[in-house]
Every structure is written in structure tokens, then in C-alpha cells.
Amino acid sequence: MTFQQARDAGYHTHRYLSGDWEYADEDGHEHLYRDGIELTQGVITRCSYSYENGDWNYRDENANFHLYRNGIELTKGVIAKWCHSYDNGDWRYIDEDGRRHFMLKEQA
């Protein structure tokens, strides 16, 4: 699907500064696209976000966040209840116990 097709179909759409875009379907699932490819294909998303540094994330149906960089999940192996990526490549997340974890770009 293209941005224009999503708009023409009446879906709520959003374009990010990174050039990525998304739409929310009739079930409220968000579909995030980059360069014509759906990044969130095959997953049920409740929300998604694209960062200017190229990282992106989504929240799944269990309210867990998944943060990606260059096709690799940075949050793999942790339960992230929230996450954020900074412009310099550092990132952080909050785990299921409410603890905050700050990760340097070099740790990715």
C-alpha cells in the first residue's frame, strides 16, 4: 500500500520527519512503512513510531515495546514497557518492574 492509497481508503495516516509513514487500519492496528516496505508486517501493533535516526518501535498486543535498528531488535530478550531512541543512537527502556535502563549506542 502507498501513503496515497491509505488516505484514499479513508485510513488515518501520519508521515514522520524521517520519511516513514503509517496508517491505522479498521481494527486500530498501525502499519509502519519505509521506502515502500512495511516494517511492521506480520506483527499486531497497537502503536508504532519512527525516529529521525532511522530506529523505529512498536507496541504489541501485550503492551510490550520492541525497538529496532537496522533490522535488529534492540529490545530482544527484555520485556520493555516503554522505550525511546535518541538522535545520537543511545536508547533506553523501562522494564516490567518499572526500572529504567539507559543503553549507549555502543551497547546495541
pLDDT tens by residue, 18-38:
999 999 999 999 999 999 999
Whole-prediction pTM value? 0.91
Q: Cell 527484555 sits at which residue?
A: 78
- Each of the 108 residues of the chain gets a pLDDT tens digit; together they read 999 999 999 999 999 999 999 999 999 999 999 999 999 999 999 999 999 999 999 999 999 999 999 999 999 999 999 999 999 999 999 999 999 999 998 876
Range of the domain at 13: 3-107
How far apart CA 40 and CA 50 sit, in angstroms, is 11
Q: How many domains does the chain have?
A: 1
